[in-house]
Amino acid sequence: MRNIANLITITRILGTTVLVFIKPFSEPFFIIYSICGISDILDGMIARKMNLASKNGQILDSIADFFMVIVLVFIFMLNFKFPLFGTHWVIIILIIRLTSLSVGFIRYKQLTFLHTYANKLTGIVLFCFPFMYIGLGLYTTTILVCFIASISAMEELIINTVSKKLCRDIKSIFSL
């Protein structure tokens, strides 16, 4: 029972790995995709409710989130005909994220994924991407997701650059 939250997080990592090998946007894909999304909500909620939250659990959750984002971006980029500006925008966001991780690692000697509101919102809109695509179209969905992801990436970079100490659960730049 003590490791239930971490087991749920590991399920997301395994499920995300399976997504790579399943036909994108098929019924099995969306079933596993949904399980991964639900596990992302449940792991932290269970850890907090059962008083099982830990630094290692936070890091594992962040790694699972990062892995899922990378896999989803890869799947989406290969299966949608993104406008060129969208591809460039995603590359810029990735560079900002990697710069933020590098700055955090240099400053704190550990991975510095932050659980800001903007990062959570980015995860939600990225997860909703296939559904928003159906309703809004690729162009509008790309702009919306990239805009929110840009804000959260910049916020995380600023926080990692100026904060006095590492606080993974910082809510926003305004919490400094």
pLDDT tens per residue across span 56-78: 888 899 899 989 989 998 998 89
**What pLDDT is recorded for position 10?**
94
CA torsion 101→37→33→146, rounded to 10°?
A: -50
Mean pLDDT computed over 133-148: 94
Nearest to 156 by CA among 101, 82, 107: 101
Whole-structure pTM value:
0.84
Confirm if 82 and 138 have CB atoms less than 8 A apart: yes
Instruction: Tell me what pLDDT residue 1 has.
Output: 61
Q: What is the pLDDT of residue 48?
A: 85
Q: Is the pLDDT of residue 12 over 90?
A: yes
**How many Cα atoms occupy the beta-carbon half-sphere of 88 within 13 Å?**
3
Instruction: With H, G, I as helix, E, B as strand and everything else as coil, classify residue 51.
Output: coil
Whether the per-residue pLDDT at 2 is higher than 80: the answer is no
- What is the arithmetic mean of pLDDT over 33-41? 92
For all residues of the chain together, what is the average pLDDT? 92
pLDDT at 153: 97
| pLDDT (average), residues 137-156 | 96
Query: In this structure, are residues 176 and 116 in contact, taking their beta carbons and an 8 Å threshold?
Result: no
